[in-house]
Homo-oligomer: A and B are copies of this chain.
Amino acid sequence: MGEYRFTHSVNVSKEAKNLAKIYGADEEKAELAGMLHDITKELPRQEQLKIITDSGIILDDVQENAPKLWHGISGSLYVKDNLNICDEDILNAIRYHTTGRAGMSLLEKIIFVADFTSQERTYKGVSTMRKKSRKSLDEAMLYGFKFTFTDLSKRELAIHPDELACYNEIVMSNLSLKGNNK
C-alpha cells in the first residue's frame, strides 16, 4: 500500500471512530473497518479478480465493467481469509463502502461516510459533506449520491444498482417522515 493510501486509511479510521462516538456505534469496530476498507485497492486488478472468483462470487454486469468496484469485495474476502476477521458487520462495511446498499447497518454507513470526509479529502463540497455527517449520516450519504450520480452519468459510466437502492431507501424514508407523497 502506497503512502497516500496508508494516510487515507488512517484518516478514515480516525474519522470512523469520531462518527461511531457521535452515533453510538462500536468505536473499535469502526476504527478497524476504517483502517482496512481499502486494503486490496492497490493490488493489481487481476489479483483482485482472482480473490473474488476463487471465493465463488460471480460479478454482475456492472461490476464486471467497473473494476473500481472490485476492491470492496476483494478487501472483505481478504481480511476474512488472511486476517481471520469474522465479524460480519466489519466485513460488510468493507464490502459495501463504495456503493452502499439497501438496509445498511450503522457501521456500514459510518465507513461509507468516513471515506468521503477523511481529513485529506479536498473535493468541492467536502466541507458541506463534513457538516452534514455531524447531523445525519443519511443526509450526508444523500449528498454523496447526488455528486456520484451526476458525475458518473456525465462521464457515461455505469452506476451499480446497490447505489441506487441505497439512495432510494433514504429518499423514501425521508418522504414518509415528511408524510409527503410526491
The chain A residues found within 8 Å of chain B, CB to CB, are: 61-62, 65-67, 142, 145-146, 149-150, 153-154, 156-159, 161, 164-165, 167-168, 171-172, 174-175, 181-182
Contact = CB atoms under 8 A, between A and B. Distances in A.
Given A159-B167, A159-B168, A168-B158, A65 B181 contact: yes
Given A65-B175, A149-B150, 9 more contacts: A146-B153, A149-B149, A150-B153, A153-B167, A158-B172, A158-B175, A159-B164, A159-B167, A159-B168
Contact of A67 (B67, B156, B181): B181
A158 B166 CA distance: 10
A154 B142 CA distance: 10
Given A62-B168, A65-B182, A66-B182, A174 B150 contact: no
A153 B159 contact: no
A161 B145 CA distance: 15
